[in-house]
Structure 1
Amino acid sequence: MLERRVNLDGRAATADVPRITVGGLRMAALDLEATADFMIEATDPRHRIGRPLHLTSANGEVLARCSTEPETERLFRGADLINADGQPLVAASKLQSWFPLPERVATTDLFHVVARKAEAVGRTFYMFGASEAENAAAVENVRTMYPNLKIVGHSHGYLRGEALRAKVEEINALAPDYLWVALGVPNEQAFVEQYTPLLTNVGVIKTSGGLFNFLSGSRSRAPQWMQKFGLEWAWRTWLEPRRLFWRYLTTNPRALYLLFSRKRPSNR
């Protein structure tokens, strides 16, 4: 696979993580708790690799876009680790492999598990992305939920040119263990690729999609039963029909095709 050839240092750092190919992308076969433990371990000074590890997530929409957008596919294949943020991916893996994905690892859930662990061991966060109001509200709520969590800085994601470069240099100087980047696909993956060389003091970069909207309270999660049956997309479409109806109408069928047609054996 392409990502195994170009990310040799990342491959070494994630060598012990089991993976399975689902819908054309190699996914980490870790549950939520194990993923958080990996992230905590990755920021231990003894395990740093001289650049931040890049963790991202894929759902059905991402699979569909990777199959039709070569640049998006390239960016995702450049990640050090990809988590499955979609229940249909988990279900498909159980039909295709003796070693399936154990569960969905939604970034919205993962954030809280990592925050609790980071709070206990003194790891630091930087939260970058979303609008200024959304970002500020998300940070305020996180500080309320985790009063002992060290958030060394935060910024909205609407920066360009020299202002963005200056912000990246500021983030690197603050040296957060975790940089949560919420710019949307594929902008956040492109950000990681472009600025990783300038973020050598950062431990892990986790791309986060709409995470800050949930943390701020402006967007609500689907009911648990809908999440369990992979229907969170329907909940989101009901909340934002104008923005999401056409997106899911075009990507969902393709994602299902990819999930059940690209049956490749697990690499482990």
Structure 2
Amino acid sequence: MPSKALSTRERRANPVGRAATASIPRETVGGLRLAVVDLEQTADFMIDAVFPRRRVSRPLYLTSANGEVLSRCSTEPMTDRLFRSADLINADGQPLVMVSKLRSQKPLPERVATTDLFHVVARKAQALGLTFYMFGANEAENEAAVANVRSMYPKLKIVGHSHGYLRGEALRSKVDEINALAPDFLWVALGVPYEQAFVEEFMPRLARVGVIKTSGGLFNFLSGSRPRAPQWMQNLGLEWAWRLWLEPRRLFWRYLTTNPHALYLLFNRTLASRTKRD
């Protein structure tokens, strides 16, 4: 079966978004069907998707997976469902790319890190007059991230921004405010699986948004409070080690439990999907 073919379950779960992304090839890596596209192609797809001729009746929903996500989807049914409801899942983890080159019929061309994707989309959006809304992180991080983005891309139209610590009626009012502003791109940075749950709950109230992209810790990098790993560590798939060095108390147990499991899934569920096709 060609990698771009979609299962009946996937089509029924999200028929509008699936039709809009049907031309994008996918490959099962570690148990999740990931988009076989590079960074530039992902950005071009996002840009193209917001123009009126391509707009659908609701936002397109893009998310990203790394080793931790593979592990959590394998053991947490709710997280698995939230990720499988996305219109497109990018590989935001170099180990996924490396193993796909060994195991997959159509290997992933490169890692599509949201931290890199944001800047590519921002440059293109700035040139075309497209709009951003930045939702998530705490108030200080959000403010700093927005200020830095405005400094880097002075012509980029950021129509609004908000921290992500809202609940109840305040959150619902903020969602309605976002919809009224009708941004082309809504960047949601709440962490896994909260940002995916946010999309599931509020997508019906965000019909005027073009694309929703979940963003994890993106705003921490944009604000400057968290440095990226050196490029050589990123290339070798060791960015997790850099993050562990920066935040050992928060991340030690998480990586101790998810990294070995993710490695197992990469070598078994990627191979299994190829064997089934063959």
Settle same-fold status: TM greater than 0.5: yes
User: In structure 2, the residue corresponding to 1:176 is in which secondary structure?
Assistant: coil
Q: Does 1:143 align with 2:150?
A: yes
Q: Select 2:258's aligned residue among 230, 240, 251.
A: 251
DSSP 3-state at the match of 2:53:
helix
Question: Match for 2:126: what amino acid?
Answer: E
| 191, 195, 204: which one aligns with 1:188 | 195
Would the aligned equivalents of 2:73 and 2:79 in 1 still touch at CA under 8 Å?
Answer: yes
Quote the residue 2:27 is aligned against.
Answer: 20
CA distance in 1 between counterparts of 2:127 and 2:105 reads: 36
Residue 61 (structure 2) pairs with residue 54 (structure 1): yes
Instruction: Name the structure 2 match of 1:71.
Output: 78
Give the equivalent residue in structure 1 for 2:123.
116
After TM superposition, list the pairs within 5 Å mapping 1:1-268 onto structure 2: 1=7, 2-262=9-269, 263=271, 264-265=273-274
- Identity %, equivalent residues: 79
Cα separation, 1, equivalents of 2:237 and 2:11: 29
How far 1:3 sits from its partner (Å)? 2.6
Report the Cα distance in structure 2 between the residues aligned to 1:162 and 1:259, rounded to whole angstroms.
Answer: 41
Q: Is the 8 A contact 1:3 1:79 kept in 2?
A: no
Kept after mapping to 1: 8 A contact 2:29/2:104:
no
Letter in 1 for 2:72: R
CA displacement at 1:6 relative to structure 2: 1.1
Unaligned runs of 5+ in 1: none
Greater RCO, 1 or 2 (C-alpha within 8 Å, sep 6+) = 1
Unaligned runs of at least 5 residues, structure 2: 1-6
Q: How many residues matched? A: 267
User: AA paired with 2:255?
Assistant: Y
Tell me, yes or no, if the aligned pair for 1:119 and 1:149 is still in contact at 8 Å.
Answer: yes
2: distance between equivalents of 1:162 and 1:237?
36
Moved more, 146-155 or 88-97: 88-97
Q: Displacement, 1:8?
A: 1.1
TM-score, normalised to structure 2's length?
0.95
4+ runs of 1 displaced by more than 3 Å? Answer: none
Distance of 1:91 and 1:216 partners within structure 2: 30
CA distance in 1, matches of 2:249, 2:209: 38
In structure 1, how many angstroms separate the alpha carbons of the residues matched to 2:106 and 2:58? 31
Question: How far is 1:14 from its partner?
Answer: 0.1
